[in-house]
Amino acid sequence: MNKRILFPIFAALLFTACTSLNKSQMWFYNQDISKGLKPVASYQTNKDEFEKQYNANKAAWDKAFEFMKTQDLVTLAPGKYPIDGEEVFASITEIVDKPLKDTKWESHQKYIDLQYVIKGEEKIGIAPSAKAKIVNAYNPTKDVANYEIDKAFYAKATPKEFYLFFPSDAHRPNIKVNEEKVKKLVIKIRVK
User: According to the model, what pLDDT value does residue 25 have?
Assistant: 64
Other Cβ atoms within 10 Å of 191 Cβ, number:
16
Residue type, 69: K
Residue 16 has pLDDT above 50, yes or no: no
CATH of the domain at 159: 2.60.120.370
Asked whether residue 3 is domain-assigned, the answer is no
Q: What band does 34 get if pLDDT is binned at 50, 70 and 90? A: low
List Cβ neighbours of 16 (8 Å cut-off, separation of 6 or more).
none
Which backbone phi and psi does 22 adopt, to 5 degrees?
A: -85, 180
Measured CA to CA in angstroms, residue 106 lies from 29, 31, 109 at distances of 27, 28, 10
Range 21-32 average pLDDT:
62
Asked whether residue 181 is domain-assigned, the answer is yes
Other Cβ atoms within 10 Å of 159 Cβ, number:
16
Asked whether residue 140 is domain-assigned, the answer is yes
Total structural domains within the chain: 1
Give 167 or 22, the one with higher predicted confidence.
167
Name the residue range of residue 65's domain: 31-190
Q: What band does 11 get if pLDDT is binned at 50, 70 and 90? A: very low
Residue 148 has pLDDT above 60, yes or no: yes
Q: What band does 74 get if pLDDT is binned at 50, 70 and 90? A: very high
For the entire predicted model, the pTM comes to 0.84
Lowest mean pLDDT among 11-25, 45-59, 150-164: 11-25
Strand segments (E) across the chain:
40-41, 79-84, 88-96, 105-107, 111-119, 122-128, 133-139, 144-148, 153-157, 161-165, 169-176, 181-190
Asked whether residue 134 is domain-assigned, the answer is yes
Is-contact 120 170, C-beta < 8 A? no
What angle do helix axes 58-70 and 47-56 make, rounded to 10 degrees?
Answer: 100
Residue 18 has pLDDT above 60, yes or no: no
Whole-number average pLDDT of the chain: 87
Q: Tell me, what DSSP letter sits at residue 158? A: -
Lowest mean pLDDT among 39-48, 127-136, 154-163: 39-48
User: According to the model, what pLDDT value does residue 41 have?
Assistant: 83
Asked whether residue 9 is domain-assigned, the answer is no
